[in-house]
Chains A and B, each alone.
Chain A
Amino acid sequence: MSNEKPGTRFAPWEDVGAVPLITFRGVTKRFGEFTAIDTLDLDVFEREFFALLGPSGCGKTTLMRMLAGFEEPTEGQITLAGQDMAGVPPNKRPVNMMFQSYALFPHLTVWDNIAFGLKRSDMARDQIADRVKEMLRLTRLEQFARRKPHQISGGQRQRVALARSLAKAPKLLLLDEPLGALDAKLRQDTQFELMDIQEKTGTTFVIVTHDQEEAMTVASRVAVMDHGRIVQVDTPDRIYESPNSVYVADFIGDVNIFEGSAEPGADVTQVTWAEGQPPLTGSADRPLARGTRCAMAIRPEKIAISAEPPADRANALRGKVHDIAYLGNISTYHVELPTGHIVKAQTANTRRIGRREFTWDDEVWLSWTDTAGVVLPAETT
């Protein structure tokens, strides 16, 4: 959710004076021979909704479990609100976690589940009752207080888990794939509910997910992880529009990649990518030396498709419609170039399908502007 209104913009990571709530400094975690987290540095600020995104096995869950105290770093230091967390057990941390499996106590009612953490603190009995009531109201579970977890639906269980982890008003709430078990429709609703609750309570949320859409929707910043390292930390829009590597561009959303060699110009960089094809023009965030291996990444929705050669576009390629994926709201055209490359171009279906302009085997032009694509250093692997 990029929020561009001046004055109300929440971006403590841009403020050099801001003190982060969580810091990771040179944190490494090894399990035997396997390095789960590799000399990682990270700052998370108060009131952030921070998403850790990556494929399974990238270390995101380990990172979260280190914050919760279930794993200790092999090297490096983690601080929370200025305090070194080394050796602090999970039950002594101002951190609560919402588990992927929800981990609701099956022998306790919804009410007792939510009160569980409060009863372990020194809170007075009537205060506990008030707090539980507040949590039940926040998660709209009032009428289910006396039920056991197996007597409520999956979505309700998810809310109980959330209420339970929020009840102790932790400084930091960790959410491990919180919506993984919900169906698509419920997921969407719950994403907005989560954001709403995060805003209301002002708690810092760190969410682990492998679902990029979910991360983009809920997070103030997203960290894309791969093999125990953070590849890029940025706001969702910058992650999407200005990925710093082919890995990030490819992981988030759909992308076309043209590999070639760089030809830096004044504002834009040209990429020579195939014989007999015009070089492609895009912008590079980091200057690339002439002739370096690079890749042009261009999102399908930024490619226009037309029957006539476009007049004023920097990039234009000719091809043949190979396949059409009709998704209802949009259609993705798979266009085959003379070189054999398949390029995906997306158009919104503003007209009904009967009026579609192009069909299989039509000769078409693909075009995009000189700033639509990003030129990235090629993957070294």
Chain B
Amino acid sequence: MRRLVVIAVPYLWLLALFLVPFGIVLKISLSDIALAIPPYLPTLDLGRGWTGLREFFGDLDFENFRFLTTDDLYWKSYLSSLRIAVISTLLSLLVGFPIAYGMARARSDWRPTLMMLVILPFWTSFLIRVYAWVGILSTEGVLNQFLSLIGVIDAPLIILNTTTAVYIGIVYTYLPFMILPIYATLEKMDESLLEAAEDLGCSRLQAFWLVTLPLSRNGVIAGCFLVFIPVIGEFVIPALLGGSETLMIGKILFEEFFSNRDWPVASAVAVILLLILVVPIILFQRNELLQQEAGK
């Protein structure tokens, strides 16, 4: 009985805070737009009994999903989101791995401080931090002023409102999610493994390729998913730093919801986004599971 209660808690949590809201979103995505409050039809009226229920389900259809295929804006946004997520994941890996490696190789009394420095930005609001980049990257911003001061450039660089700015913002924001899992695996690694590799004839570089890299694989995979999954749906960064050229599905979702007030289409966009995310989330879970098994 006690066990049942313990198990029930997370399930109830999931049911109330994930499955039920998802069911509502799914229902809205199958409804039609209407000038009403809430702005869609049909609404369920249980007072009318069976016939009401039958009519309610009869009115649901996949029209919104069909609509998404007619306008190429949507699939282009999905693709663009995927591309931006892939590229920024790789960029984060490129920047994050050396940092994690450096942290793991640092003197052990330094590590908590370094770890603190990685986490420290989270103490400031995410929105403020992204907004600060506007001040850095704009044509009159800190970066351009500095570069023209030291004479590297004549005309200001146009970075803000381009996809480049979005990449900078994403890599900056999500870097800790890449660093921490990689650091965790590298820090666990027994240093005598590298000595053993050298002792058996490896150069330092070979030892890195043959031992360090394969052993940090799980951390790299975890870090990549932790960056990739939220970046696909990212809205704030492309909205603040990206320009009109930057297509991301989060932005489309926002526009459908608030500008067009088309809740059913916005919900359809969200449902498809979730379906796209299910694949990497399952892969991520599997990686975590394998890691746990290997750790035993």
Contact = CB atoms under 8 A, between A and B. Distances in A.
B22 to A, nearest CB: 39
A107 B200 contact: no
A68 B192 CA distance: 13
B68 interface: no
B12 interface: no
A120 B202 CA distance: 7
A90 B195 contact: yes
B195 A120 contact: no
Interface in B193-218: 193, 195-203, 206, 210-211, 214-215, 217
B200 A96 contact: yes
A103 interface: yes
Contacts of A89: 198
A66 B211 CA distance: 23
B197 A99 contact: no
B294 interface: yes
Contacts of A100: 192
Q: Which residue, of B211, B215, B217, B296, has the highest number of chain A Cβ atoms within 10 A?
A: B211
Interface residues of A, number: 25
A106 B199 contact: no
A355 to B, nearest CB: 53
B190 interface: yes
B199 A68 contact: yes
Contact of B211 (A97, A105, A121): A105
A164 interface: yes
Contact of A99 (B192, B210, B214, B217): B192
B294 A91 contact: no
Nearest to B195: A70
A107 B213 CA distance: 11
Contacts of A70: 195, 198
Contacts of B203: 91
B202 A91 contact: yes
B199 A97 contact: yes
A103 B196 contact: yes
A352 B224 CA distance: 70
Give the interface centre of B190, B198, B199, B201 by most chain A CB atoms within 10 Å. Answer: B199
A95 B217 CA distance: 30
Interface string A278-312: 00000000000000000000000000000000000
A168 B197 CA distance: 13
Interface in A69-120: 69-70, 89-91, 95-97, 99-101, 103-107, 116-117, 120
Interface in B8-29: none
Given A70-B195, A101-B192, A106 B202 contact: no
B192 A91 contact: no
Contacts of A106: 215, 294
A168 B211 contact: no
A150 interface: yes
12 contacts: A91-B202, A91-B203, A97-B195, A103-B195, A103-B196, A105-B211, A107-B215, A107-B217, A120-B206, A150-B294, A164-B200, A165-B199
